Amino acid sequence: MEFDHHVFPVNKKEYIKGKKPSVDCILCAVVDKKKDVECLNILETDLIICSVNLYPYNNGHILLFPKRHIVDIRELTKEENIHMNAALKFMLDIIDDVYKPTGYNIGFNIGKFSGASIDHIHQHIIPRFPN
């Protein structure tokens, strides 16, 4: 897989301690294709982006997010919802083919105390494996 160097993110410690790109919103910087932000996009429509997580919890960890900066899924338009759901199903099929997980955690962290470290709504697709 092309993203092998992101499977075990040893540089996440530096990121957690504050070594981050100087941008207002990391996902908006991805949308805007800012040069100081690593782009790992694997799917893009006019409304959403699907990206490999730079600091994955597991192999195949994907982030799915609207291009528009919003903080709550209730702000998604009908069209954004359609794109998000279609991309989710598409990515599940690809992850199944590539990694053959035995399960998934799929969800959103909404609000600072939910664990959301990025204030731009994004959906995690996390493949799970035995043990």
Cβ(15)–Cβ(55) below 8 Å: yes
Tens-digit pLDDT profile for residues 77-130: 999 999 999 999 999 999 999 999 999 999 998 877 777 678 899 999 999 999
The pLDDT of residue 72: 93
The pLDDT of residue 112: 75
pLDDT over 90, % of the chain: 64
3-class SS at 131? coil
Q: Sorting pLDDT into bands at 50, 70 and 90, what band is 4?
A: very low
Does residue 3 register a pLDDT over 50? Answer: no
CA distances from 102 to 13, 52, 105, 129 (A): 29, 19, 11, 5
pTM over 0.85: no
The pLDDT of residue 49: 98
The pLDDT of residue 23: 83
pLDDT over 70, % of the chain: 82
